[in-house]
Structure 1
Amino acid sequence: MSTPLTDHSPAMHDSITSDFVAQYRKNGFAILRNALSTTEVTAINEEALRICRDGFGDSPEIRGVSDAEMLRKFLCIHYPHKLSDLALAAMKHPTIVKALEGVIGPNVKAMQSMLFIKSEGKPGQAWHQDEHFIPTRDRSLTAAWIALDDATVENGCLWVLPGSHQRGVLYPDRKQDDPRFDCSTEAFDFPYSDNDAIPVQIPAGAALIFNGYLLHRSLENSGKHGYRRALVNHYMSAESLLPWKKPQGEYFGEYDYRDIVLVAGDDPYAHKGLVDESKAYSRAEKDGGCDR
Structure 2
Amino acid sequence: MTTPSLTRRPVLHHEVTDELIAQIREDGYGVLLDAISPAEVSSLREEAVRLCSGELAEIAGGPAPRPGESADELMRRFLCIHYPHKVSDVALRALMAPRVVDVLTRVIGPNVKAMQSMLFIKSEGKPGQPWHQDEYFIPTRDRSLTAAWIALDDATVENGCLWVLPGSHRRGILYPDREQDDDRFDCSIEAYDFPYRDEDAVPVEVPAGAAVIFNGYLLHRSLENSGKHGYRRALANHYMSAESLLPWRDLPEGVHVGKHDFRDVVLVAGEDPYAYKGTPDLSRPLSRPDKNGGCDR
Q: Same fold (TM over 0.5)?
A: yes
- Rounded Cα–Cα distance in structure 1 between residues aligned with 2:125 and 2:63: 23
Partner of 1:99: helix, strand, or coil? helix
**Shift in Å at residue 279 of structure 1?**
1.5
- Number of the residue aligned with 1:280: 285
What whole-Å deviation, never above 9, does each CA across 1:165-196 have from its counterpart, x for those lacking one? 00111012111100000034101111111011
- Number of the residue aligned with 2:271: 266
- Rounded Cα–Cα distance in structure 2 between residues aligned with 1:19 and 1:182: 34
- Rounded Cα–Cα distance in structure 2 between residues aligned with 1:61 and 1:240: 41
Structure 2 counterparts to residues 103-122 of structure 1, below 5 A: 103-122=107-126
- Rounded Cα–Cα distance in structure 2 between residues aligned with 1:248 and 1:74: 35
Residues 4, 59 of structure 1: alpha-carbon distance in 2 compared, 3 angstrom cutoff: closer
User: Counterpart of 1:97 in structure 2: which amino acid?
Assistant: V
> Do the aligned residues in 2 keep the contact of 1:160 with 1:214 (CA within 8 Å)?
yes
Are 2:234 and 1:233 equivalent residues in the alignment?
A: no
- Rounded Cα–Cα distance in structure 2 between residues aligned with 1:83 and 1:120: 27
Residues 83, 62 of structure 1: alpha-carbon distance in 2 compared, 3 angstrom cutoff: farther
User: Counterpart of 1:80 in structure 2: which amino acid?
Assistant: P
> Do the aligned residues in 2 keep the contact of 1:117 with 1:229 (CA within 8 Å)?
yes
- Number of the residue aligned with 2:211: 207
- Structure 1 runs of 4+ with >3 Å offset: 55-61, 288-291
Structure 2 counterparts to residues 34-73 of structure 1, below 5 A: 34-54=34-54, 55-56=57-58, 62-73=66-77
Structure 2 counterparts to residues 24-173 of structure 1, below 5 A: 24-54=24-54, 55-56=57-58, 62-173=66-177
2:261 equivalent among 242, 251, 256: 256
Partner of 1:271: helix, strand, or coil? helix
Query: Once the two structures are aligned, what percentage of the paired residues are identical?
Result: 67
Are 2:208 and 1:242 equivalent residues in the alignment?
A: no
Residues 206, 127 of structure 1: alpha-carbon distance in 2 compared, 3 angstrom cutoff: same
Partner of 2:53: helix, strand, or coil? helix
User: Counterpart of 1:247 in structure 2: which amino acid?
Assistant: P
User: Counterpart of 1:136 in structure 2: which amino acid?
Assistant: T
> Do the aligned residues in 2 keep the contact of 1:154 with 1:221 (CA within 8 Å)?
yes
- Rounded Cα–Cα distance in structure 2 between residues aligned with 1:136 and 1:211: 12
- Rounded Cα–Cα distance in structure 2 between residues aligned with 1:249 and 1:64: 51
Question: What do you get for the CA RMSD once the two structures are aligned?
Answer: 1.8
**Shift in Å at residue 60 of structure 1?**
6.6
- Rounded Cα–Cα distance in structure 2 between residues aligned with 1:16 and 1:199: 21
- Rounded Cα–Cα distance in structure 1 between residues aligned with 2:295 and 2:94: 30
- Rounded Cα–Cα distance in structure 1 between residues aligned with 2:213 and 2:78: 24
User: Counterpart of 1:280 in structure 2: which amino acid?
Assistant: P
Report the more deviating stretch, 16-25 or 277-286: 277-286
- Rounded Cα–Cα distance in structure 2 between residues aligned with 1:128 and 1:94: 28
Residues 59, 193 of structure 1: alpha-carbon distance in 2 compared, 3 angstrom cutoff: closer
Structure 2 counterparts to residues 193-204 of structure 1, below 5 A: 193-204=197-208
Partner of 2:267: helix, strand, or coil? strand
**Shift in Å at residue 278 of structure 1?**
1.1
- Rounded Cα–Cα distance in structure 2 between residues aligned with 1:290 and 1:53: 15
> Do the aligned residues in 2 keep the contact of 1:146 with 1:206 (CA within 8 Å)?
yes
> Do the aligned residues in 2 keep the contact of 1:52 with 1:71 (CA within 8 Å)?
yes
